[in-house]
Amino acid sequence: MGEETTVAPAGLGAQAAELLSELIRLDTVNPPGNEEPAQELLASRLTDAGFECSLLAAEPGRPNLVARLPGEVEGETLCLLGHVDTVPADASEWSFDPWSGEIVDGEIRGRGAQDMKGQVAAEVAAVTELARDGWRPARGELKLVATADEEKGAAIGAAWLCAQHPDAVRADLVVNEGGGYAFELGERRFYSLAVGEKGVSRFVLRARGTAGHASIPGLGENALLRLAPALARLGEQPPLEPSPVGVEFLSTLLDEDLGDADPRALEGAVERLRSLSPKLVELLAEPMLRVTLVPTRIRASEKANVIPSKAEVLVDCRVPPGGGADQARARAEVVLGPLADGLEIEFMKETVGNRSPFESPLADAIAAWLAEADPGASLVPVVMPGFSDSHWFRKAFDAATVYGFCPQRTLGLFEAQLLVHGADERAAVADLELAAGFYFDLCRRVLQ
């Protein structure tokens, strides 16, 4: 990867902001999705700039967009990835119309501004500006992939694309969502680089008893009451445990070498970070360094006057990359203690998390841009506690390096996290300008 770069043109941020406004006004709440109008808008912009565009759909009205800009000679493929569907929005909880797309006081308002139409708009603005000016990769190929259905599991989005159309979306280097949020610790500024996602190992925790009429409590054995102590235990979380990314994260922020840290040393490091920034521990450090167990749904008697013979709770369990149901079960048994012997654990379909290495030429290219855009700032690796389309690209293309990175500083980590899936979602025009400039620069660095 080369080192020469060209400063992004003035007005690129305004182009991204205008496109984001248009995307927000196209309601793509999933379900039902209805992503087609948004994909057609993007395809039109990209085609006019010189991209070869395809709309690939597993279901009518819900296509995925694949745009290609081939280079002069063979080389690596860089893919800028994003999704255009959003979660719902309850307008009664917002102070403005969730689908207005208005630009007020330097912010674009509406559902999807953060997750993740803002990033898609910045990506498209950057690559169309490059292509319209006649730029083409000197080697390799540039792809832009905008998916459907990410918010509901990607069954007709990225997962389907990677399984049914792998050649269309195959890439060596992928940049997606999940990282790039700025935060400060002391006098230093960091930008997160999402190198992986935790896996999902949801399970049902079940207690059994004996049914009876609710008017005579002594006639039955209430399964719900047997389950209650376990619910209380789930308020605790398993112990911290070392993970490569979590240890690197702590080492970078604390400026300490924690490479051989045992669980006790890890606990001490987390407490030192907590004393500096409790929010960083809550949002990033602890989720990365443990299996998390969160009860989300409970079910017992179907009738108001029947003592339940069965009671169960659904536990949303997230496991660090590479771990699965066995690790989840072991950590659940630690938390439940002796209660585990009298309960049943039934796992649902699991997805094992994955990650890319933090050290790579792509990370070097991102760091080089950052050194120019925000001198003195540093990259720090993170694993997303949630899930993204990055997982499917790593799973399908073993050799691919897949990161989440969309830089934003005006609305940094702590502000943005409250807006993702929340009320009054919005993005700063200044952050769109920063992000569009990054994608403009990255394409030239990687594909020249």
Report the top-level CATH class of 12-185+355-447: alpha beta
Inform me whether the pLDDT recorded for 3 exceeds 70: no
Average pLDDT of the segment spanning 154-166: 98
Inform me whether the pLDDT recorded for 1 exceeds 70: no
pLDDT for res 6: 57
Residue-wise pLDDT for 23-62, tens only, equals 999 999 999 999 999 999 999 999 999 999 999 999 999 9
**Could you identify the residue written with the tokens 């010189």?**
50
Inform me whether the pLDDT recorded for 230 exceeds 60: yes
* pTM greater than 0.85: yes
Average pLDDT of the segment spanning 222-231: 97
3-class secondary structure, 133: coil
Inform me whether the pLDDT recorded for 199 exceeds 80: yes
d(C-alpha 42, C-alpha 38), whole Å: 6
Catalytic residue among 85, 129, 172, 431: 85
Residue-wise pLDDT for 401-427, tens only, equals 999 999 999 999 999 999 999 999 999
d(C-alpha 252, C-alpha 318), whole Å: 24
Residue-wise pLDDT for 98-151, tens only, equals 999 999 999 999 999 999 999 999 999 999 999 999 999 999 999 999 999 999
Exposure of 372 by Cβ count < 10 A (0-12 exposed, 13-18 middle, 19+ buried)?
exposed
Which of 124, 116, 22 shows the shortest CA–CA distance to 67? 124
Q: Is 150 a catalytic residue?
A: yes
Inform me whether the pLDDT recorded for 4 exceeds 70: no
d(C-alpha 174, C-alpha 82), whole Å: 10
Q: Sign (positive/negative) of CA torsion 190, 269, 324, 226?
A: negative
Q: In whole numbers, what is the pLDDT of the chain averaged over residues? A: 96
CATH architecture of 199-236+291-352: 2-Layer Sandwich (3.30)
Beta bridge partners of 107: 104, 428
Residue-wise pLDDT for 353-365, tens only, equals 999 999 999 999 9
Q: Is residue 379 a contact partner of residue 363, using CB atoms and an 8 Å limit?
A: yes
Average pLDDT of the segment spanning 290-303: 97
Q: Is residue 197 a contact partner of residue 387, using CB atoms and an 8 Å limit?
A: yes
Which tokens hold the place of 250? 């702590």
Largest Cα span, the chain: 81
Catalytic residue among 115, 150, 172, 197: 150
Average pLDDT of the segment spanning 373-389: 96
Which of 405, 377, 357 shows the shortest CA–CA distance to 245? 357
Domains of the chain, residue spans: 12-185+355-447, 199-236+291-352, 239-290
Inform me whether the pLDDT recorded for 366 exceeds 70: yes
- 295: cis peptide before it, omega within 30°? no
Residue 5: pLDDT band (50, 70, 90) is: very low
Q: Is 316 a catalytic residue?
A: no
Query: How many residues are given for the chain?
Result: 448
Average pLDDT of the segment spanning 153-161: 97
Q: Which long-range contacts (CB under 8 A, 24 or more apart) does 55-58 make?
A: 56/161, 56/165, 56/168, 57/148, 57/156, 58/155, 58/156, 58/160, 58/164
Inform me whether the pLDDT recorded for 442 exceeds 50: yes
Q: Is residue 250 a contact partner of residue 243, using CB atoms and an 8 Å limit?
A: no
Inform me whether the pLDDT recorded for 448 exceeds 90: no
Exposure of 116 by Cβ count < 10 A (0-12 exposed, 13-18 middle, 19+ buried)?
buried
